[in-house]
Amino acid sequence: MMNPTDAKSPVSYPFRVSRLARKGTDLTITADADQRAGLAKAHGLLSVERFDAEIAVRPWKADGVRVKGEVFADIVQECVVTLDPLPARIAQDFEALFIPEDSRLARQEWRDGEIVIEAEGADLPEPFSGDTIDLGAVAEEFFALAIDPYPRKKGTEIASKAESATDEKKVGPLYEGLKKLRGEG
């Protein structure tokens, strides 16, 4: 995960953790036209028609922060086969934990000189510096993960290399020579 204090997201929304109420807070980020254009450029999209993030920020353990929410977006991508515009809708849940970099929770668990990480376990908390987390950058990261990297229009196919190679062989001089040897041509 990118460090939310370092990134400058098109939908940047700095949130001061020091002002977080004990019961937490809920907020909504809605991107304007310039921010949506910035998202489209940053992620190689033709356009971003809508970007909204519903976020709940809550205290976590002694000094950590839990960020949980959902990103909603309407985007237009380019089909990898036809290059036609291809609309898509994103609805992506997300959750992330953050801790101050000087927190005791930021220390890794070591056993016999190795860091212990559970493959199926929850993600480790992300450390942040200062007292601000960019919630827009967090939402953007999960937005980016939800984008189909190879969008294809329904009904389109990409010819496999084997099919292309077979087609090329059928028209090449070697193929013509083989046909003559077999008595086919």
Pair (131, 163) in one structural domain? no
DSSP-assigned letter for residue 173: H
**Residue 55: which of 125, 149, 143 has the closest Cα?**
143
Which pLDDT score, from 0 to 100, does residue 35 have? 97
Pair (133, 79) in one structural domain? yes
Residue 34 pLDDT > 70, yes or no?
yes
Residue that has been written with the tokens 């190795």 in this structure: 114
Residue type, 38: G
Pair (57, 32) in one structural domain? yes
pLDDT digits (tens, 9 = 90+) for 54-69: 999 999 988 899 999 9
In total, how many domains does the chain have?
Answer: 2
**Residue 34: which of 15, 14, 53, 9 has the closest Cα?**
9
The dihedrals phi and psi of 3, each to the nearest 5 degrees, come to: -75, 115
Q: Name beta bridge partners: 151.
A: none
Residue 175 pLDDT > 50, yes or no?
yes
Pair (95, 169) in one structural domain? no
Domain that holds residue 181: 157-185
Q: Does residue 53 or residue 184 have the better pLDDT?
A: 53
Which pLDDT score, from 0 to 100, does residue 165 have? 55
Pair (182, 144) in one structural domain? no
